[in-house]
Amino acid sequence: MKKIFMFCLAGVLATAAASCDDKDDRGGGNSGKMTVNGQTEEIKSAIYAEAPAGEFGENGVGLYLFKDVLTGMPEEEPDFGIMIVITESLYGKTIDLTKPVARSSYLLIAGMNKNLDVSIEYDDGTIDTTDGGSSQGPSVTGGTLLLTRSGDNFTVELSVTLSDGSSVSADWKGTATKIDIPE
């Protein structure tokens, strides 16, 4: 059920981000960069959706960072971005990404670029890098995440590497645009 929710959330976030325009408050104090598998881009758009407690046992948020300022509906999914889904109990804590999070918490880190996607899910005391596949995925060899939130304002400090050489990192501070997930 959680994986289905994550795919739906990713689709909704991508669609909603596309409908944002340059007139919102993403500018101003926003700054940062993100890297997925060696490709680095400036973060130009950020959106988020509340993740309901029913899915994860506690409230959380899905935050999506984009390299593009999105002004219209894209014809296809964005080719570069980072998504973080995190429960409230993990806000403001430096998380060692080589270790599972508490069983009562949930964390998903997904990075995509046109060459390779990275997905790391922390759930039920496990770390899953298979992105829904049945074979053994690479292990997380290093990294930390610190995400803080105050209303629509977020700070993200992320750096994670996997045993197959893939990696995701972000250093961003700014205001994200809130969207609602249709029920």
Could you read off the pLDDT of 126-174 as tens digits, one per residue?
A: 999 987 776 788 999 999 999 999 999 999 999 999 999 999 999 999 9
pLDDT digits (tens, 9 = 90+) for 12-42: 444 444 444 433 433 345 679 999 999 999 9
Strands in 177-179's sheet, in edge-to-edge order, are 126-128, 117-123, 107-112, 81-87, 60-66, 45-51, 177-179
Q: Confirm if 117 and 166 have CB atoms less than 8 A apart.
A: no
Amino acid at 164: D
User: Beta 31-36 vs 153-162: how paired, if at all?
Assistant: unpaired
At residue 21, φ and ψ (nearest 5 deg) are -130, 175
Of residues 139 and 77, more confidently modeled? 139
| Token pair of 127 as six digits | 């770390």
At residue 72, φ and ψ (nearest 5 deg) are -155, 175
pLDDT band at 70 (very low <50, low <70, confident <90, very high): low
User: Beta 60-66 vs 81-87: how paired, if at all?
Assistant: antiparallel
Chain-centroid distance of CA 93 in Å reads 16
**To the nearest whole percent, how much of the chain has pLDDT over 70?**
78
Q: Residue 54 has what pLDDT?
A: 76
| Token pair of 156 as six digits | 């993200």
Q: Rounded to an integer, what distance in angstroms lies between the CA atom of residue 79 and that of residue 115?
A: 9
Q: Residue 28 has what pLDDT?
A: 40
Q: Rounded to an integer, what distance in angstroms lies between the CA atom of residue 157 and that of residue 140?
A: 17
Strands in 39-42's sheet, in edge-to-edge order, are 39-42, 31-36, 167-175, 153-162, 140-150, 95-96
Q: Residue 135 has what pLDDT?
A: 76
Show Cβ contacts of residue 141 under 8 Å, excluding neighbours closer than 6 positions: 98, 161, 162, 163
